[in-house]
Amino acid sequence: MIEAKNLSKHFKVKGKPDKVAVADVSFTARDGQVTGLLGPNGAGKTTTLRMLSTLIEPTGGAGRVDGKDIRADAMAVKAAIGVLSDARGLYTRLTARENIRYYGELRGITGATLEARIEKLAALIDMTELLDRRTDGFSQGERMKVAIARALIHEPKNVILDEPTNGLDVMTTRSLRELIRKLREEGKCVVFSSHIMQEVSALCDDIVIVSQGRVVAQGDAQHLLEISGKASLEEAFVHLSGETDHAPTSPTSPTSPASTLSPTANQGMMQ
Residue-wise pLDDT tens digits, 40-54: 888 999 999 999 999
Please report, for the domain that includes residue 221, its CATH number. 3.40.50.300
Q: Among 39, 36, 46, which Cα is nearest to 204's?
A: 36
Section 262-270 average pLDDT: 39
Alpha-carbon span 27 to 42, nearest angstrom: 19
Q: Is residue 260 part of a domain?
A: yes
pTM for the structure as a whole: 0.83
- DSSP letter assigned to residue 106: H
pLDDT at 252 over 70: no
Note the pLDDT of residue 248.
52
Q: Is residue 246 part of a domain?
A: yes
- DSSP letter assigned to residue 247: P
pLDDT at 256 over 50: no
Note the pLDDT of residue 204.
93
pLDDT at 148 over 70: yes
**Domain count of the chain?**
1
Banded model confidence at residue 243, pLDDT cuts 50, 70, 90: low
Cα angle 248, 160, 147 (rounded to 5 degrees) comes to 100
- DSSP letter assigned to residue 233: H
Note the pLDDT of residue 52.
97
Q: How confident is the prediction for the chain on average, in pLDDT?
A: 87
Alpha-carbon span 217 to 209, nearest angstrom: 5
Q: Is residue 222 part of a domain?
A: yes
Handedness of CA 239, 243, 248, 249 (dihedral sign): positive
Note the pLDDT of residue 244.
60
Q: Is residue 134 part of a domain?
A: no
Note the pLDDT of residue 180.
92
Which residue did the predictor score with more confidence, 6 or 165?
6
Q: Is residue 234 part of a domain?
A: yes
Section 229-245 average pLDDT: 82
Section 199-205 average pLDDT: 88
The range of the structural domain enclosing residue 206 comes to: 2-90+160-270
Q: Is residue 95 part of a domain?
A: no
Q: Is residue 103 part of a domain?
A: no
Residues above pLDDT 70, as percent of the chain: 89
Q: Is residue 171 part of a domain?
A: yes
Q: pLDDT of 66-109, one tens digit each?
A: 999 999 999 999 999 999 987 778 999 999 999 999 999 999 99
Q: Which residues lie closer than 8 Å to 142 by C-beta, 6 or more apart?
A: 96, 127, 130, 135
Note the pLDDT of residue 251.
47
Section 159-177 average pLDDT: 86
